[in-house]
Chain A
Amino acid sequence: MGVESQRIEDFRLTKEPYYLPLGNEVELFEAAYHGGLPVMLKGPTGCGKTRFVEHMAWRLERTLVTVACHEDLTASDLVGKYTLRGDETVWQDGPLTTAVKSGGIAYLDEIVEARKDTTVVIHPLTDDRRILPLEKKGEVVAAPGEFQLVISYNPGYQSVLKDLKHSTKQRFVAIDFDYPPPDAEETILKTESGVDDDVAAKLVKIAEKVRNLRTHGLEEGVSTRLLVYAGQLIGRGVTPIAACEATICKPITDDLEMQRSIVEIIATQF
């Protein structure tokens, strides 16, 4: 019986990810990290949560193991399982175990999408025990001081059926994220997509207007990520209106009247 683990160095960031701090989130995260506290990042899609974690992993010089949670994700997928390799039964560490053993940052993205039994697995890692029991292996892995657990979730997606249990929520330090203020968003756009001041300002203006529709049939406002995509398309020669329709309008709604109103908003700027 052998043990396999993913190469931890594969999870080390070699280049600083661009992140523009919008408040005290960097200080909060650092304090939580040094205190051994798990962190929960809350905010809408595409507002920079994942980029923030990457930035912090680079800043703290830690490896970052990211798990995109989904409804078929089991506790074994996270922790590890026995697999057959020829005639031998091999234990394969899951991404969470890999992160714990290496003292890196484990980032469970959209944790609420995972099955309920999966979320319970992380509980011993989130209190003062800081351990990860590997039940199938009959082993307990103690997390080193450098390890940190980070989860993210989007409160806008949650419902009665799909929400984090309070017993889970109350184990984390929460950092709220939202779309950046206009000036900051313009800076982000210019940096990420290379558009000029004018285009950046117009894209941000469009986003600001479209986000006003969030309570009028639009589930989520247009994200900073989509604005970056729009900027990138414009930078590659796509006309601004076509770029905005493809990135800002069509991905966020299938409602034709909503789409038309967004197109009109775009037309007010370009």
Chain B
Amino acid sequence: MTFGPAVGNVGMYVAREMLAAVPEDQRQAYLRMVEEISELKYQLGVEVARQLPRLLAEHEPEAVARYLDQVRQVAAVGWKSGVEVAKQLPDLYEAPDEQLAEHYVDIIADATKGPPEDTETAQLAEELVELERELREMEPKVKRAQELKSLLAARDRRDEKRRKHAVELAAALPPILARLRPRYRPPYLAQVRQVAAADPEASLEAADTLLDLLNGERVSPEGAAEWVARGLEVLERNKEVGRGYFRLGSKYALQVLDELKEGLALKSVARVLKLYATALSGHDVAIRGTNELQAMDVYTAEHIVLPPEMRFFEDDERNFTAYKVATAHGAGRIEFGTYGFTLTAVPDLVADLRARYPEGATA
């Protein structure tokens, strides 16, 4: 069975038995009617499709048209009432009083429509719909506003943290400057200023590290500038990693430092030099860097004080030789008692010399 081009989706509402009950020459019209009514509401189409075969079989086309009009009339004010009316009307058409169906439709339509003040409800509903539409339109703006709020709050927290670290830097810097060798102050301040401008927290780390690097002569002022420049690049990419760099807590920071380091590090040869000096002098000699002077009393123990880096020569071998010469010199002083001299020994020494070289004696 085919329905032709006008039928559309009407097959959804019309069962095979219903269509079979419609006289064959009226089937196209039946299907069209069902389709038209179902455009108002799906449930109306279902009910009308169920009732129409009977009406088409028992009544004139005018009666069928009146049925559809009356259903539409009621459905216009309430589709649920329309469905019920579509179901009840065919039976009312059978009544002897032809006016009965018409009155029934009017009553149900009025009842569904309600009092005239309900137009206000409709207005309210319309207004609500409008507002909801506007709210939907506002949603992206609200979302953006929340984003901006969070962003500003984060910036506020960051600025607060920044101010806090700036205060800490203000307290920490003077004692560090007091410990810094005067000749390193200008390059030190220039480097710390750069880091502080980028991130005060990182500058706290950098202030300490640069003090050790410059005071300990582990890098030249130019080397320190290069080390800071590379650290600032890291800081720009990631604050936390950058702070780690400036506290020498990253492999990269140490690697850069190693690249920039000039000469031979004392710590890498300190034990060899200690053994060398101990063997030469016969005393238990300690090797100390000039950067450790604050932590020891150089006159109370057998120390040989050497620079933490030796960079007289290009190659480590000759730098080691320079260390060795300085160590041998220090070992000689320890062995022959330069630092063991006391004033109380002077009288004995004079007496000894006098005995050895008596007055009037000739060479």
A residues within 8 Å of B by Cβ? 209-210, 212-213, 215-217, 257-258, 260-262, 264-265, 268
Residues of B near A265 (CB, < 8 A) are 276, 279-280
How far is A213 from B281 in the complex, measured between Cα atoms in Å? 10
Residues of B near A213 (CB, < 8 A) are 275, 278-279
- Given contacts A216-B284, A264-B324, A268-B328, is CB(A210)–CB(B279) below 8 Å? yes
A257 touches B279 (CB 8 A): no
How far is A65 from B273 in the complex, measured between Cα atoms in Å? 46
Residues of B near A209 (CB, < 8 A) are 279-280, 282
Residues of A near B274 (CB, < 8 A) are 216
How far is A257 from B281 in the complex, measured between Cα atoms in Å? 18
Q: At the interface, yes or no: B272 with Cβ under 8 Å from chain A?
A: yes
Number of residue pairs A-B, CB distance < 8 angstroms:
39
A233 CB, min distance to chain B CBs, angstroms: 22
B295 CB, min distance to chain A CBs, angstroms: 22
A262 touches B279 (CB 8 A): yes
A261 touches B272 (CB 8 A): yes
Q: At the interface, yes or no: B271 with Cβ under 8 Å from chain A?
A: yes
Of the four ranges (under 10, 10 to 19, 20 to 34, 35 or more), the interface on chain B belongs to 10 to 19
State which of B273, B279, B328 has its C-beta within 8 Å of the C-beta of A212: B279
A212 touches B272 (CB 8 A): no
A202 CB, min distance to chain B CBs, angstroms: 14
27 contacting pairs across A/B (C-beta < 8 A): A209-B279, A209-B280, A209-B282, A212-B278, A212-B279, A212-B281, A213-B275, A215-B284, A216-B274, A216-B275, A216-B284, A217-B275, A257-B275, A258-B275, A260-B272, A261-B271, A261-B272, A261-B273, A261-B275, A261-B279, A262-B275, A264-B276, A264-B324, A265-B276, A265-B279, A268-B280, A268-B328
B276 touches A216 (CB 8 A): no
Residues of B near A212 (CB, < 8 A) are 278-282
Interface residues of B in 253-283 (CB under 8 A from A): 271-276, 278-282
How far is A233 from B212 in the complex, measured between Cα atoms in Å? 50
Return the CB mask of B312-345 against A: 1 if under 8 Å, else 0.
Answer: 0000000000001000100000000000000000
Most A-side CB within 10 Å, residue of B275, B281, B282: B275
Which 8 pairs across A and B sit closest by C-beta, in order of nearness? A261-B275, A209-B279, A261-B276, A212-B282, A212-B279, A260-B272, A257-B271, A261-B272
Residues of A near B272 (CB, < 8 A) are 257, 260-261, 264
Across the interface, name the chain A residue whose C-beta is closest to B277.
A261
Across the interface, name the chain A residue whose C-beta is closest to B281.
A212
Residues of B near A217 (CB, < 8 A) are 275
